[in-house]
Amino acid sequence: MYIWWESTPSDNYKNIPRGHPGGIWADLKDTKAGEDGTLREERRKARYLALRCLYQWEITGETLEEVIASVKQELEEGGQWDPFTEELLNIIRREQPRIDGLIERYADRWSLKRMPIIDRNLLRMGMAEILYMEDIPPGVTVNECVELAKRYSTEDSGKFVNGLLGHFIRDHQLSGKDEKSNG
């Protein structure tokens, strides 16, 4: 099932209302990953793609493997699949119970179910990068997740994502705990 592609005509993507995830599809369709040749741009596009996959996964009820396979097939028509996307999605799939538990712990008076889908999945992506991708500075991860939240979610989502991930990083660094080793 190609949920975003069919629901968002490519010639009309600029008129998509704020928060509509179809905008992600438009970004992926109309630009190639890493056009300026930088790792930053390649990773930014890979994060867009990961967010798109996670959104489709939650909306359709398909397994993440099914979503990845369908998106890869669809991208063969003109997009680019990035290994970073696959690594990030595999971490989230493997570590979801732990990541979701941490999000719940740091989300003051917010349950995962109550969060907008985009925010919930950006937090999963951010936690996965912070915990399991040591080559990426935590500040870069937070900034990228905040930018995606501002662009594709609610008006307050950037602040929410920034606050939660920032709080986690501060606690993680100040307490001296190694969250990676805590089961």
| Domains in the chain, number | 1
Q: Does 50 reside within a domain?
A: yes
The highest-confidence range among 26-30, 72-76, 155-159, 176-180, by mean pLDDT, is 155-159
Residues in the chain: 183
40 inside domain: yes
Tell me phi and psi for residue 153, to 5 degrees: -125, -155
The pLDDT value recorded for residue 43 is 92
Residue 78 lies in a domain: yes
Could you report the per-residue pLDDT of 71-98, keeping only the tens digit for each?
Answer: 988 888 767 889 999 999 999 999 999 9
Please calculate the CA angle 84-63-3 and round it to the nearest 5 degrees.
85
Question: What would the pLDDT profile of 101-130 be if each residue is shown by its tens digit?
Answer: 999 999 988 899 999 999 999 999 999 999
In a domain, 94, yes or no: yes
Residue 37: predicted pLDDT: 57
Predicted pLDDT at 121:
98
Is residue 183 domain-resident?
no
Cβ proximity of 52 and 21 under 8 Å: yes
**Which has more confidence, 159 or 30?**
159
pLDDT tens per residue across span 21-31 = 444 444 444 43
More confident residue, 3 or 153: 153
The answer to whether position 181 is within a domain reads no
> Where residue 148 sits, what CATH number does that domain have?
1.10.940.10
Between CA 146 and CA 136 the distance in angstroms is: 15
Q: What is the CA radius of gyration of the chain?
A: 16
Residue 134 lies in a domain: yes
Of the candidates 104, 120, 102, the residue with the CA atom closest to the CA atom of residue 169? 102
> What pLDDT score was predicted for residue 145?
97
pLDDT at res. 144: 96
Distance CA 165, CA 172 (A): 10
User: How far is the C-alpha of 142 from the C-alpha of 98, rounded, in Å?
Assistant: 19
Q: How confident is the prediction for the chain on average, in pLDDT?
A: 80
Helix locations, the chain, DSSP H: 3-7, 22-30, 39-60, 64-75, 83-106, 117-132, 138-152, 157-175
Burial class (CB in 10 A: 0-12, 13-18, 19+), 125: buried
The answer as to whether 180 is a domain residue is no
| 102-105-107-110 Cα dihedral, nearest 10 degrees | 110
CB 128 within 8 A of CB 92: yes
What's the pLDDT at 148? 96
Domain around 168: 3-8+23-174
| Sole residue written with tokens 């602040």 | 159
pLDDT at 28: 45
